[in-house]
């Protein structure tokens, strides 16, 4: 099955063990993909940032940041993983298998980042860059740089402004793990609403984006 996945990815691993680690969820084994996910997150952020910088030489920093957030988030990475049917190859614990974890965007997106980290370690940066650019080419071509692709924090802020509701506040609820492998839990609160949204990510920024996305759904349900 690993050969089948390698054909889909367009990359064949010199060390099959690192591919297995990249596909192993923390619910399945202590030797899991969390460290590779941490590495892959930084690599894909840099490659996509460079790609946008080169392709849009006149774009402002704010636009570049917004476009990068559109291309690198749980949904984008999770949908990319689904194109490779990555869920079929994941090693999951019994609980995650039973609950359909192989199709969950949060698990798929983390596994996709772990794959990128694994390719970098196995083949070097140039190879990882070539893979990411190839995978992202259709997304970049189809991306309409409009208000529909603003990051979740911007969309939440603008939606609240349209309702004349105070802007949201974000607070770090907890930081777990070692300094090189931290997981942030951030809450998003909106004045006048009893419910708060909790986002989780490998950086404070990613946790805030997830919390904002969840809060946007809560606010829309409240005011529809």
Positions marked active-site: 41, 113
Residue 136's nearest CA partner among 8, 63, 64, 47 is 47
- Strand segments (E) across 109-206: 169-176, 183-189, 197-201
Do the Cβ atoms of 203 and 221 come closer than 8 Å? Answer: no
Q: Is 1 exposed, middle or buried (0-12, 13-18, 19+ CB in 10 A)?
A: exposed
58: Cα within 13 Å, side-chain hemisphere: 0
- The Cα 13–Cα 121 span in angstroms is 10
Structure tokens at 160: 């609240």
In degrees, to the nearest 5, what angle opens at C-alpha 136 toward C-alphas 52 and 80? 135
The residue assigned the tokens 């940041």 is: 65
End-to-end CA distance of the chain: 47
Q: Is beta strand 169-176 parallel, antiparallel or unpaired with respect to 197-201?
A: unpaired
């Amino acid at each position: 099955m690993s050969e089948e996945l390698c054909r889909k990815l367009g990359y064949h691993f010199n060390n099959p063990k690192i591919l297995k680690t990249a596909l192993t969820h923390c619910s399945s084994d202590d030797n899991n993909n969390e460290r590779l996910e941490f590495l892959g997150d930084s690599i894909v952020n840099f490659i996509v940032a460079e790609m946008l910088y080169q392709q849009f030489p006149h774009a402002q920093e704010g636009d570049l940041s917004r476009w990068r957030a559109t291309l690198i988030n749980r949904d984008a990475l999770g949908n990319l993983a689904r194109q490779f049917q990555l869920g079929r190859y994941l090693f999951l614990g019994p609980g995650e298998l039973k609950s359909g974890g192989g199709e969950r965007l949060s698990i798929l997106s983390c596994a996709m980042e772990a794959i990128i980290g694994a390719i970098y370690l196995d083949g070097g940066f140039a190879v990882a860059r070539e893979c990411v650019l190839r995978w992202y080419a259709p997304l970049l071509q189809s991306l309409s740089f409009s208000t529909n692709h603003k990051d979740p924090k911007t969309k939440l802020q603008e939606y609240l402004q349209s309702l004349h509701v105070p802007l949201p506040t974000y607070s770090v609820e907890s930081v777990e793990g070692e300094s090189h492998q931290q997981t942030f839990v951030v809450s998003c609160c909106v004045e006048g609403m009893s419910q708060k949204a909790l986002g989780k990510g490998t950086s404070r920024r990613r946790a805030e984006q997830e919390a904002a996305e969840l809060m946007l759904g809560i606010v829309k349900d409240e005011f529809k």
